[in-house]
Amino acid sequence: MDSAPGRRGRFSRLPPFTSQVLKDSVVRLSPFSLLSNPVMFIVEMTFLVVAAMAVYPQGFGSVASASKQTFYLEVAAILIITVWFSTLADALAEQQARNTASSLRRLETEVTSRKVIKQGWATDMVPTKSTDLRKGDLVLLEKGETIPIDAEVIEGIAMVDESLMTGESAPVRKAPGDSVIGGSRVVTDTLTVKVTANPGETFIDQMIHLVESSKRPKTPNEQAVTMVLLGLTAIFTIIIVSLLGLSITLHLGADLSVLIALYVCLLPTTIGALLPAIGLSGVSRLYANRIVAKSGKAVETAGDVDVILLDKTGTITVGNRQAIEFIPFEGHTVKEVGEASFLSSWYDDTPEGRSIIRLAYDSGYIPKELNSLELSKVYPFSATSRTSGVKMSRGLMLGLPKGIDSGGERRRFRRKAPEALEGLDENEPEVEVLKGAPDSMKSSLGAVPPLYDEVVNGVSGAGETPIVVSRNGSALGVIRLKDVLKEGIRDKVMAVKAMDIRPVMITGDQPLTAKSIASEVGIDEYVPQARPEVKFSIVQKEQKDSRIVAMIGDGTNDAPALAVADVGLAMSSGTEAAKEAANMVDLESNPAKVIEVVMLGKQLLMTRGAVTAFSIANDVAKYFAIVPVLFSAAIPQLNILGLGLESAVLSALIFNAIIIPMLIPLAMRGVSFKPSGTMSIFLRNVMVWGVGGVIVPFVGIKLIDLLISVI
């Protein structure tokens, strides 16, 4: 799997260095706008002091000397550049966020639509702006119109283009009960929809609010890092004030500018400069994956997840089972099974049903009773009987049957369906064809064939789903439905397990089927024959055991579980209730992305930690660069880097400054990591950022010093 989450998508690249960014970064240099970043504010204050020293060294008594004006000028320049680098990081992250926000806003184009107002028997159509629509309003949408705001279909079936939101180019079929996203476009037919969210309250609005940093509240974790930075700043302030005091009282002759340089080098400028950008770009990265987060905290919590509930359908498997074989019971032929399956599935609008018809059609098992289907009685799928089918009586031949309009394949059938189809057999005035789960079917059968259980279990044991087909009460055979695994899902599950997270598969399948699929992708825990409510109880149970749970959901049934789960990812194709309850929404409605969410959460925390540790570890080398200069007369031996006196200070300051822009790409892209155990990730990052953070500046400062001496 992608070892660095967030690398794909439009926004993973750094935003271009536009004039707007430049302007922003300069405007932000104002001390007032720096007040929110105490570390950088202090650096700017020190810049003012050193600038004053450069202009009027005489005013600083023994701690400045007039002969060093050029040096002071250089120090002051580096100091203000340091601040600028920090505002630049901010401006870039802002730019990235603005891009995100504007692309989100594009989803919210203001349109005028026809609001339906019913007064008694009369129905009025009132042109209304999308911003004036309120929850519960009815809107009529015709072909070509843009859906003004998130809503739910009340009447009609139509194809809707959601590509703006989801990136999925093919139009999606929407029927009553489905939800539609504001900004998507109706491409066929007519829909009546009920508005489910007030303008400004959709999840898109929440995301826009989140990325606009001025309103962005600090997450708990950011607050804690800020505390560390404040603490360190206080410590280093005491150190420098004491050194200044000692230097004056003991006549150590330390220059104020060198003390200030030491101060700025010690201050956690790197993390101080990049902290806001890290958090902001974390949210932007999530959006690059087409996931909308409602709060920054949710993204961080994702990093802590201990358990992920994975719906089998859509997450582990492609979503729909495909019919791959008809197996007759003893005494029946494959053809009989195929034709009965065709009939029983004609009104079955599920993807499975369609795949059965396609298999039967492709195999040439086209029932002669096809023409009678129009007059048949339909038994829709019921959750209690878990069967479905049709009952046909001998009657008029009315030509081609008219199936439920569902676009796609059925229509193709109809067009191509041969006219050669015959009517019903005269010996059989009534035909009832049923299909369903083996255990449910057993009760409706007149006699259970001898090898019923063997055949059925053989299929489920292989991880496939058996559907039993019967005709007039006698079992003909079994349809084999195969789950198709999503590409790369096994690797993703392995990555999750490597990160010490427990994946739990939830499925409505038989235990045998569930077990087989679970073991195929490497999942140890699964809940078979699960009803939607089961998610809620699993979430509660895991939370009671103090675990952090992530889950996905799309139905209204999922809403309670999504609301209590620590990380709830709703599908944008799901119901409004689910989207409202969740703290993240996936615009692409790809449930497997819950894994990406967890990776991004970890990456965000890791990046913040890495830059913090790096920043602090850097200080060790900076001490060795500057302290020998500070006390050069007393202990030349401490100058283990062998630096020139003034160039040592400049080198350390320059290193301190340029490390900020050098780490901007890292801050915005995030630390890359291989999914593995927490401790091994920890150890690797400690070596790279902690130990590396001690060593790198020694090398960097020495190199800069050499460069300066060449110039």
Query: Among residues 21 and 538, whose Cβ is nearest to other proteins?
Result: 538
Query: Among residues 234 and 397, whose Cβ is nearest to other proteins?
Result: 234
Query: Among residues 251 and 415, whose Cβ is nearest to other proteins?
Result: 251
Q: What angle do CA 97, 672, 230 make, to 5 degrees?
A: 65
**Which of these, 201, 197, 167, 164, lies nearest to 179 by C-alpha position?**
197
The sign of the dihedral angle between the CA atoms of 535, 305, 490, 494 is: negative
**Nearest-approach distance from CB 567 to other proteins, in angstroms:** 13
Asked whether the beta carbons of 99 and 13 are under 8 A apart, the reply is no
Bridge partners of residue 505, in order along the sequence? 310, 526
Asked whether the beta carbons of 280 and 216 are under 8 A apart, the reply is yes
**Nearest-approach distance from CB 661 to other proteins, in angstroms:** 22
Asked whether the beta carbons of 179 and 225 are under 8 A apart, the reply is no
H or E element at residue 502 = strand 502-506
Asked whether the beta carbons of 6 and 288 are under 8 A apart, the reply is yes
What angle do helix axes 220-249 and 594-630 make, rounded to 10 degrees? Answer: 0
Neighbours of 168 (CB within 10 A): 16
**Nearest-approach distance from CB 268 to other proteins, in angstroms:** 10
**Nearest-approach distance from CB 65 to other proteins, in angstroms:** 21
State how far the Cα of 395 lies from the Cα of 424, in Å rounded to an integer.
8
State how far the Cα of 420 lies from the Cα of 400, in Å rounded to an integer.
11
**Nearest-approach distance from CB 185 to other proteins, in angstroms:** 40
* 3-state SS class at 461: helix
Query: Among residues 165 and 597, whose Cβ is nearest to other proteins?
Result: 597
Residues labelled as active-site residues: 311
The conformation of residue 146, written as its DSSP 8-state character, comes to B
Which parts of this chain interact with other proteins (CB under 8 A)?
220-221, 223-228, 230-232, 234-235, 238-239, 242-243, 245-246, 249-252, 262, 266, 300-301, 303-304, 306, 499-500, 545-548, 601-603, 605-606, 608-610, 612-613, 616-617, 619-620, 623, 627, 630-631, 634-635, 637-638, 673, 678-679, 681-683, 685-686, 689-690, 694
Asked whether the beta carbons of 358 and 322 are under 8 A apart, the reply is no
> How far apart, in Å, are the Cα atoms of 584 and each of 283, 576, 606, 702?
11, 13, 21, 47
**Nearest-approach distance from CB 215 to other proteins, in angstroms:** 20
State how far the Cα of 647 lies from the Cα of 431, in Å rounded to an integer.
97
**Nearest-approach distance from CB 274 to other proteins, in angstroms:** 14
**Nearest-approach distance from CB 290 to other proteins, in angstroms:** 22
Query: Among residues 227 and 398, whose Cβ is nearest to other proteins?
Result: 227
**Which of these, 484, 464, 539, lies nearest to 318 by C-alpha position?**
484
Strand order in the sheet with 465-471: 322-328, 474-482, 465-471, 430-436, 387-393, 377-379
**Which of these, 263, 259, 237, lies nearest to 62 by C-alpha position?**
259
* 3-state SS class at 229: helix
Query: Among residues 465 and 639, whose Cβ is nearest to other proteins?
Result: 639
Query: Among residues 577 and 611, whose Cβ is nearest to other proteins?
Result: 611
Q: For the chain, first and last CA: distance in Å? A: 47
Query: Among residues 169 and 637, whose Cβ is nearest to other proteins?
Result: 637
Asked whether the beta carbons of 182 and 150 are under 8 A apart, the reply is yes
Query: Among residues 249 and 384, whose Cβ is nearest to other proteins?
Result: 249
**Nearest-approach distance from CB 617 to other proteins, in angstroms:** 7
State how far the Cα of 524 lies from the Cα of 518, in Å rounded to an integer.
7
What single letter denotes the amino acid at residue 156? Answer: G
- Give the length of the chain: 711
**Nearest-approach distance from CB 221 to other proteins, in angstroms:** 6
Asked whether the beta carbons of 360 and 324 are under 8 A apart, the reply is no
Give the contacts of 600 (CB within 8 A, at least 6 positions apart): 5, 6, 282, 285, 286, 289, 299, 302, 670
Query: Among residues 87 and 233, whose Cβ is nearest to other proteins?
Result: 233
Asked whether the beta carbons of 648 and 629 are under 8 A apart, the reply is yes
Paired sense of beta strands 138-141 and 584-586, if any? unpaired
**Nearest-approach distance from CB 147 to other proteins, in angstroms:** 39
Query: Among residues 87 and 221, whose Cβ is nearest to other proteins?
Result: 221
State how far the Cα of 159 lies from the Cα of 434, in Å rounded to an integer.
31
* 3-state SS class at 336: helix
**Nearest-approach distance from CB 241 to other proteins, in angstroms:** 8
State how far the Cα of 212 lies from the Cα of 221, in Å rounded to an integer.
19
Query: Among residues 278 and 569, whose Cβ is nearest to other proteins?
Result: 278
